[in-house]
Amino acid sequence: MPTAYDVDREQLAVLLSGEPAYRVQQVWDGLYRRVVWPEAMTELPARLRADLGEWLPAALQPSVERSADGGDTVKWLWGLHDGALIETVLMRYPDRATVCVSTQAGCAMACQFCATGQGGFRRHLSVGEIVEQVARAVAAARPRRLSNVVLMGMGEPLANFDRVWPAVLRLVRDMGISARHVTVSTVGVVPGIRRLAGTGVPVNLAVSLHAANDERRDQLVPINRRYPLNTLVDACAEYVHRTSRRLSFEWALIADVNDGAADAVELAAIARPLGAHVNLIPLNPTPGYPVRGSQPDVVRGFRDRLLRLGVNATIRSTRGVEIDAACGQLAARGGSGTAGAGGRYENTGAGGESGDADAAGRHGAAVTRRGPGTRPSLSVSAALPVAAITGNPQQEHRLGEQDLVP
């Protein structure tokens, strides 16, 4: 069944065919400009709001919420209708906010060091499942403006182009997020990069490079065997040429694997001619890849070497490390990709809500009414033992309205 943010304007018009024509715009504005659920569209008659609540259900059911960095970083694990689990991370800054959204449940790219890759592919997300992650973040970021969207959560965006792209257009055209503040991150799906270059919509492109020679990249990022570095670099050059947008390379620094002087030289040889910015990320540990991230002094040394080689490089801040905010980590630990984990809602971070666990808190709380803008009712559902997710049963808290309302 299509969910609220799956429905396009034409489908909404069909749903509202018995209503005055202006209702279509009203509801569309409610969803995309005001970002509220039908229940909160008080300009509509109560009868219509109730109908819309049925016709436009939410796609995302809260399963786990964690916060860190004094509440500035929030990570959600959402359950989908078929039991798949996906993650969304919101990062609040003093005057704005950024959200990192998932584009697939699981991922087929099998990058060695990535928690999502280690869990395998489940399915593509729908347009609505992608857009609703942003809508939830818009609501949770208030009063800050959600200014930036990065498609850098679970999944490979360019392997799900046919849903990711309409979702991006909704964000840009309907939600008013600037294309220049949207970043598509790819492992290097070359046909997808070329397609993206042809859209004429100037989003940023981030390529997860991690190795700048084919031998090592074949190991770390298996898609490199299909699209080796020379084809990837050509596609990146086309992207920069056609869009004039900044290209960035992501580089997870792995101790003694890709953090040496020779690695920096190889990387510079690719990045410099493209004018690419390099984002250095100390590797987050994952269960299936027992190699350490580089030590902080090695990370800084690698950055300095790149700078000396004429490459613009920065070290990505490690926000949310303590809540497993890196790609796929929460789902990998808490859910093994199924809805069995549904219903747990908690908070391990300083500055978040805490409180006594009540029945819902102990046994898992599932939201049965839909979405932000409504007072969610709670129902008890099966849940993982909380320690399986948090390691700390003291810190769970009850799902409450304050957690969902825009």
In the complex, what is the shortest distance from the CB of residue 86 to ligand SAH, in angstroms, rounded to a whole number?
12
Interface residue with ligand SAH among 27, 135, 212, 281 (CB under 6 A) is: 281
Interface residue with ligand SAH among 131, 327, 366, 386 (CB under 6 A) is: 327
Question: In terms of CB distance, is 275 or 288 closer to ligand SAH?
Answer: 288
In the complex, what is the shortest distance from the CB of residue 48 to ligand SAH, in angstroms, rounded to a whole number?
39
Which residues neighbour 253 within 8 Å (Cβ) at sequence distance 6 or greater? 259, 280, 281, 282, 283, 293, 294, 298, 299, 302
Of 87, 129, 132, 250, which is the active-site residue? 87
- Residue span binding ligand SAH (CB under 6 A) among the ranges 167-175, 280-288, 306-314, 334-342: 280-288
Question: In terms of CB distance, is 35 or 326 closer to ligand SAH?
Answer: 326
In the complex, what is the shortest distance from the CB of residue 194 to ligand SAH, in angstroms, rounded to a whole number?
17
The residue count for binding ligand SAH (CB under 6 A) is: 18
- Residue span binding ligand SAH (CB under 6 A) among the ranges 24-32, 55-63, 106-114, 166-174: 106-114
Q: Does 113 bind ligand SAH (CB under 6 A)?
A: yes
**Of residues 124-183, which lie at the interface with ligand SAH (CB under 6 A)?**
152, 156
Q: Does 65 bind ligand SAH (CB under 6 A)?
A: no
Q: Does 239 bind ligand SAH (CB under 6 A)?
A: no
Of 100, 111, 114, 327, which is the active-site residue? 327
Interface residue with ligand SAH among 98, 126, 183, 185 (CB under 6 A) is: 185
Q: Does 326 bind ligand SAH (CB under 6 A)?
A: yes
Q: Does 250 qualify as catalytic in the annotation?
A: no
Q: Does 43 qualify as catalytic in the annotation?
A: no
Active-site residue list:
87, 327
* List of residues contacting ligand SAH (CB under 6 A): 109, 111, 113-114, 152, 156, 185-187, 208, 250, 252, 281, 283-284, 286, 326-327
